[in-house]
Amino acid sequence: MNWNIITDSSCDLLPSTSPDGRIRLTSVPFTIRIGERDFVDDEHLDTLEMLSAMEQERSAGHTSCPTPDAWLAQFEQADCAIAITISSQLSGSMNSALAARDMALEKDPDKKILILDSLSTGPEVLLCVKEIERLIRHGLSFDDIAAHARDFLQKTKILFALSSFDNLIKNGRIHRLTGMLAKALGIWGIGSGSDEGKIAFESKARGAKKVVQTLVSTMKEHGFIGGNVAISHCDNLALAQTLKNSILDIWENTSIEILPTRGLCSYYAERGGLIVSY
């Protein structure tokens, strides 16, 4: 039996296949519109080029979620397919995946397909993918993996720290003068994802050192005691590494993976931003 774990490109993992060929990790892309240019968020996207285009464009950009056909093409590639989408509160990606599942099952009613709403994005989706891979290798049944994955996503958390507010300014969510002043003063916005899959700013921090302290402090408040952590960074590997070291100083029994953001998370985190899940 072969498996296809499919995410939309809100997950920062790139497509890969296990050495034995049994487990494929695949991705269906968002499209990001910047001015008159469309950036397809696949493994060929030059994220830094997209960020530069964003920074030079005065008007607000927008994103388009993967089509049902894109999901369907992946569902047809394996006996067992597990799709994990960005929060349904943030995008229509899950609705596209559900429509594709119905089409796939109409063609082949015996196919096993699971759709998971991550109620999150980025590194939290990554952690779920890694957990599903582990369960497959341990030989769990499709139904047991489905139940475990749902429970796993209820326990994981996500935090983000933004140093640039250009998108929020362009979309009218922050007054231009306020956003520019915050950036000039080195003020970061720090927030988290809710259990309902929405995101909200909760605090401010001035300077990168304070950002790391605030993120670690929030992890403590959430009851983190060690385990698996994923950090996505938007062109800011140095700060991601500093955060990793600070986490390990407190919780030595922690496995931490650092990845650059792909297109969609880069669009929202903007240059310099961090997203961390645990």
The encoded tokens of residue 250 equal 């407190």
Contacts of residue 250, defined as CB under 8 A and 6 or more positions apart, other chains included, come to 216, 220
pLDDT of residue 200: 80
pLDDT of residue 8: 98
pLDDT of residue 185: 57
Low-confidence ranges of the chain (pLDDT < 70): 168-169, 171-186
pLDDT of residue 176: 58
pLDDT of residue 202: 80
pLDDT of residue 171: 66
CB 159 within 8 A of CB 192: yes
How far lies 10's CA from each of 31, 42, 45, 114, 275, in Å? Answer: 11, 11, 13, 18, 12
Which structural domains are found in the chain, ordered by start? Answer: 3-30+65-155 (3.40.50.10440), 158-277 (3.30.1180.10)
Name the 3-class secondary structure at 115.
strand
pLDDT, tens digit (0-9, with 9 covering 90-100), for 58-105: 898 999 999 999 999 999 999 999 999 999 999 999 999 999 999 999
- Tell if the pTM clears 0.85, that is, is over it: yes
DSSP labels for 77-96? T-SEEEEEES-TTT-SHHHH
In 10 A of CB 32, how many CB atoms? 23
How far does Cα 110 stand from its chain's mean position? 30
